[in-house]
Amino acid sequence: MKKYLMILLLLTAPLASAIVEETREGPTSLAWGPVPPAKGVVWPSVPPIPGELLVSVDLSGPTKPLSQINYATPGKTLVYIVAVKNSGCSDVDAKITVTSKSCRPGWFGWTDKIVTIPGGGVISEELLVTPEMRASPGDYSFQVMAQAPETKSGKGEGRFRLQGYDYVSETSVSGTGQFQMNKDVRSMNTGVKSNKDVYFSGSVDALMKNEYLVERAKGTNPNFQEWDAVENYMALNPGDALIGTEVVRSSLVFGGVGAKVLESYNLQEMDYRLQEIGLHHTGLDRRAEFQTADNFTGYLAIDARQTIPGQRSTRDREEFLGSFEIQRRLVFKDSPRPIFDCFGGSCFNIVEGFKPFSS
């Protein structure tokens, strides 16, 4: 009997394992367990489920109405956020590639990079797109693709519409001697008025005065934008100075926000100046904005005001005489749009849609 039992166990060994305890009366217990693989046998493995890369390309900032989204001007940098999601369970080393469809390759801050994305995770990369100053107005697009081994690739697309300038004036000066500049810009279609009278005698490493006008600006594009910079001006002889009177107005009567900023200065030294002025009258956010950072010796005055008849009047004036380092920012916004009505041969400016000031 024992002989036949041993043969039975040997025949069933590849299918099961058991622990047999022998007694004089025969086996008393039998415990079944997992079947160990036979020597040299390779069980087929289950292939892993491939992941997928999902790509989105969105303009940085708050969501905008579809009719006003992604407008830009030549030379202005658009900031996009490229987000890639890994839907798989394992980490992947993904290659992100930017392909130009109608843009020039040189407009992109980067065109490819390698990133590690954890399983089920998302990474975000900032992509700067700067159309060149000579770019033609129109619609532009580009594609962003993400690829990784044994993973389904994904792609997304970025789009923007480029508006052309109605007026461009760029001035850059460096040297020693005398310099004089006069600029006068007036746009009745947008309520923009800008006037500059600048003179210096002495030495300057760089003096820049750039102005840009877009009369029918949309999205976040300004109707009028000004960039000013000065680096290392120095009076060399008695009587030398950097002298200027600069005025920018946002005319309420012609659709602006009723703001005015006047600067006047007489300086013997200026280590640096970085200044920006923007007037937004026809786009998403109607406002007039002024900001400046200066380090100088001499006299400087900044006189800013906003006037809305029957609603609001503000004025802010500062004067400096000596050696100073200053930073200044002013924002005037949300003013009413004027409408005109005539009665008995006389015409009146009626304001409507007034909203409280908010920064």
pLDDT per residue as tens digits for the range 87-122: 988 999 999 999 988 898 899 999 999 999 999 999
In a domain, 357, yes or no: no
Q: How many domains does the chain have?
A: 3
In a domain, 44, yes or no: no
Lowest mean pLDDT of 26-40, 201-215, 227-241, name the range: 26-40
Give yes or no: residues 238 and 128 share one domain.
no
Give yes or no: residues 95 and 231 share one domain.
no
Domain that holds residue 12: 2-33
Q: 92: domain CATH number? A: 2.60.40.10
In the predicted structure, residue 352 carries a pLDDT above the cut 60: no
Give yes or no: residues 204 and 343 share one domain.
yes
Q: What percent of the chain has pLDDT over 70?
A: 77
Residue where a domain stops, chosen among 115, 140, 162: 162
The whole-number pLDDT of residue 8 equals 47
In a domain, 45, yes or no: no
The whole-number pLDDT of residue 62 equals 67
Give yes or no: residues 75 and 155 share one domain.
yes
Give yes or no: residues 102 and 216 share one domain.
no
Q: What is the pTM of this model?
A: 0.73
The whole-number pLDDT of residue 201 equals 97
In a domain, 38, yes or no: no
Residue where a domain stops, chosen among 107, 131, 162: 162
Give yes or no: residues 60 and 9 share one domain.
no
Give the pLDDT band (50/70/90) at residue 335: very low
Give yes or no: residues 120 and 70 share one domain.
yes
Residue where a domain stops, chosen among 162, 181, 209: 162
Give yes or no: residues 188 and 319 share one domain.
yes
The whole-number pLDDT of residue 220 equals 87
256-279 tens-digit pLDDT:
999 999 999 999 999 999 999 999
In a domain, 283, yes or no: yes
Give yes or no: residues 232 and 190 share one domain.
yes
Please state the rounded mean pLDDT for residues 302-311: 90
The whole-number pLDDT of residue 6 equals 53
In the predicted structure, residue 346 carries a pLDDT above the cut 90: no
Give yes or no: residues 300 and 315 share one domain.
yes
Lowest mean pLDDT of 100-109, 124-133, 330-339, name the range: 330-339
Give yes or no: residues 65 and 126 share one domain.
yes
Give the pLDDT band (50/70/90) at residue 18: very low
The whole-number pLDDT of residue 333 equals 82
The two structure tokens encoding residue 175: 């040297």
Please state the rounded mean pLDDT for residues 293-311: 93
In a domain, 43, yes or no: no
The whole-number pLDDT of residue 47 equals 53
In the predicted structure, residue 348 carries a pLDDT above the cut 80: no
The whole-number pLDDT of residue 67 equals 47
Residue 76 CA, chain-centre distance (Å), reads: 10
Give yes or no: residues 65 and 212 share one domain.
no
